[in-house]
Amino acid sequence: MSTEQTAESIQVTPELLRRYDRPGPRYTSYPTAPVWREDFGDAEYRKALSEAASRADDPLSIYIHVPFCQERCAFCGCNVIISKKEGVADVYLDHIELEISMAAEVLGDRRHVQQMHWGGGTPTFLHVDQIERLFGMVRDRFSIASNAEIALEMDPRVTTPEQVATLRKLGFNRASMGVQDLDPEVQCEIHRFQTEEQTRKLFGICRDSGFDGINIDLIYGLPGQSVEGWSETIDKVIDIAPDRLAVYSYAYLPDKLHNQRHIDMAKLPDADHKLELFTIARAKFTAAGYRAIGMDHFAKPQDELSLAMDERRLRRNFMGYTVVPATDMLGIGTSAIGEIGGCYAQNEKKLSRYYQALEVGKFATSCGFELTKDDTIRSHVIRELMCNFFLDFADLESRFGIAFGEYFADEEAALAPLFSDDFIARDNGAIRVLPLGQIFIRNVAMVFDAHLKKAAAKTQFSRTV
C-alpha cells in the first residue's frame, strides 16, 4: 500500500490507535523545553545574542508576547494574565521597551527584520495608541523589510475596526483568529463565548482592510464536541473562507494548567471519537480545496505554505509554519521564547520577576539550552520530517558530513515498525512520510529524540493524536 497511499484512502484502525496514540512532544523545538537548563540566564543569553550579531547580513524574526486577556478560557494553555486594570499594559510596555533596547544594543548591526509576530494572551488587548507605541519600539531600533511578514493574533470578541485600521496602517499583513469551535454547547463547556456573527464580522473587516492572509484556529478534542456540531463548525468555517487553518489537538493537562480543572473530564472525547473529529476536519477541508500542511495546518493551493511544501522548503519555528528564511528568532516579553545564536532561551513567566530583571539591566532569561552538534542534526531531521514529510540523505550529508545509515544506526531499528505500518517509505535515498504517517508524525519524530526519556520524566505531554 505504501506508494499508493492517498489522503482519501488511509484508514486508522483501532489497533494502530492503541499502539501509537501516546504522550509525546509537539516538537515546536528540539530539544524540547523540559530538558532546557535553569542555569541558562542573562550571561548565557548575551553570549547567544553576540553569536547572532556576527551574522549581520542574515534576517531576523521577532516574536513579542502580549500576555493580557480580559477573561481566561477554561481550555487555555497559554501564559496569560487576566486584567481589566487601566495602565497595566503601559507598565508592561515600559519594560518591553527596555528589553528591545538591550537586545538591539547587543545585536549591533544585526537589525534586518523579515518576520514579526505578536502573540498572547490577546495582542488586541492593547489600545490603538499602545499598538502604535509597541510597533514604534521595534521600528525605531530595527529595520523592518518592506516585504516582511507582520502578523498577530486577534480575538473576534474584543478587536475593533479602529484597531484593525491601525494595524494595517502600520504594515501588519497577516492575522490569526481564535475560534476553537462555534458550537454554543462546547463554548459553554470551555468558558469561551464567541458567536459566529462576531467571527464573520472581524474576518470581513480584516479582509476589506487588505490583510494578505487570514488564519482561523480550531481545536478538536474539546469537552462536549459531537460529530454533528463539529461538522457544522467546519462547514461554517469553510464558508468564511480563511486562507489558512490550524486544527490543533486539545491538550488536557489539569495538573499543569489549573484553569483546565474547570473542564468536565467526563465530557472529553475518547481517543476513537477524537480521531473521528480530526478525520472529519481533514476530509472536509481537503474536499473544499485546502491542502494539509505539516502536522495540523491547512492552506489553499496558491498559499505560500503550499508552494513551499511542494518545493520542500517549508520551515517551522515557535510562531508556526513559515517560509521566512530567518536563521534567528528574538523572543520579547514575559514567557517569550527565542531561538538565537545556536540556543533556545525563554523569559520569566512571572511578571514581577520579568520586571525585576530588566530594571537592573539584566535580560529576564529563566531557562535555555545551547545545542550540541548532535542536537542540531536531530533538530534538522525532525523539522524536515514534520514540515516537508521528507528527509533527503544527500542533503543531510552535505550539511553535516554524516551518513544517515551510520549515524542513525540505532534509530533504523526503531523505524522498522513504521515502515511495516506504512507510516514511512524509502524514496531514492530519502525517507518519505506517507499520508497515514502524517497523522502520526509526532511518533515518527520521537524516534530521533535523544532526550525523550529525560523530557518525559520531567513533564506531562499531550497525546500524539
Q: What angle, rounded to 10 degrees, do the helices at 161-170 and 196-209 form?
A: 30
Checking if the pLDDT of 2 tops 50, the result is: no
User: What does the DSSP 8-state code read for residue 461?
Assistant: P
Checking if the pLDDT of 443 tops 70, the result is: yes
Residues of the chain with CATH 1.10.10.920: 1-25+373-453
> What is the average pLDDT across 306-318?
89
Checking if the pLDDT of 8 tops 70, the result is: no
**16-20, 82-86, 409-413, 430-434, range with the lowest pLDDT:** 82-86
SS3 154: strand
Mean pLDDT of the chain: 93
Give the whole-angstrom CA distance, residue 394 versus residue 158.
50
Checking if the pLDDT of 4 tops 60, the result is: no
> What is the average pLDDT across 297-326?
88
Q: Which residue has the higher pLDDT, 256 or 2?
A: 256
| Beta bridge mates, 312 | none
What is the DSSP secondary-structure string of 105-153? HHHTT--EEEEEEEEES-GGGS-HHHHHHHHHHHHHHSEEEEEEEEEEE
How many CB atoms are closer than 10 A to CB 91? 12
Checking if the pLDDT of 10 tops 90, the result is: no
Checking if the pLDDT of 332 tops 70, the result is: yes
Checking if the pLDDT of 11 tops 80, the result is: no
pLDDT at 119 (0 to 100): 95
Give the whole-angstrom CA distance, residue 123 versus residue 132.
12
pLDDT at 154 (0 to 100): 96
Checking if the pLDDT of 3 tops 80, the result is: no
Checking if the pLDDT of 330 tops 90, the result is: yes
pLDDT at 256 (0 to 100): 82
pLDDT digits (tens, 9 = 90+) for 245-265: 999 999 888 888 888 888 988
Residue entry with cell 461538522 = 231
Residue entry with cell 520579547 = 332
User: How is domain 1-25+373-453 classified at the architecture level of CATH?
Assistant: Orthogonal Bundle (1.10)
CB proximity list for 147: less than 8 A, separation 6 or greater: none
Q: Which residue has the higher pLDDT, 428 or 206?
A: 206
Contact 464, 24 (CB under 8 A): yes
pLDDT at 9 (0 to 100): 59
Q: Is it true that the peptide bond before 121 is cis, omega within 30 degrees of 0?
A: yes
CB proximity list for 328: less than 8 A, separation 6 or greater: 52, 55, 58, 60, 61, 110, 338, 339, 340, 341
pLDDT digits (tens, 9 = 90+) for 40-53: 999 999 999 999 99
Model confidence at 5, pLDDT cuts 50, 70, 90, reads: low
**280-284, 424-428, 438-442, 457-461, range with the lowest pLDDT:** 457-461
User: How is domain 35-329 classified at the architecture level of CATH?
Assistant: Alpha-Beta Horseshoe (3.80)
Task: State how far Cα 101 lies from the chain centre.
Answer: 26
pLDDT digits (tens, 9 = 90+) for 156-215: 999 999 999 999 999 999 999 999 999 999 999 999 999 999 999 999 999 999 998 999
SS3 176: strand
The predicted model scores a pTM of 0.93
Contact 154, 182 (CB under 8 A): no
What is the DSSP secondary-structure string of 60-123? EEEEEEE-EESS--TT--S--EE---TTHHHHHHHHHHHHHHHHHHHHTT--EEEEEEEEES-G
Cell of 246: 490550524
Number of continuous H segments (helices) and E segments (strands) in the chain: 18, 19
Contact 433, 423 (CB under 8 A): yes
Give the whole-angstrom CA distance, residue 198 versus residue 179.
10
Give the whole-angstrom CA distance, residue 273 versus residue 249.
12
> What is the average pLDDT across 103-109?
97
> What is the average pLDDT across 413-429?
94
**105-109, 227-231, 313-317, 415-419, range with the lowest pLDDT:** 313-317
Give the whole-angstrom CA distance, residue 295 versus residue 433.
11
One-letter amino acid of 408: F
- φ, ψ at 347 (rounded to 5°): -80, 165
Residues of the chain with CATH 3.80.30.20: 35-329
> What is the average pLDDT across 102-121?
96
Checking if the pLDDT of 358 tops 80, the result is: yes
One-letter amino acid of 452: L
> What is the average pLDDT across 290-294?
91
| Beta bridge mates, 66 | 120
Contact 375, 30 (CB under 8 A): yes
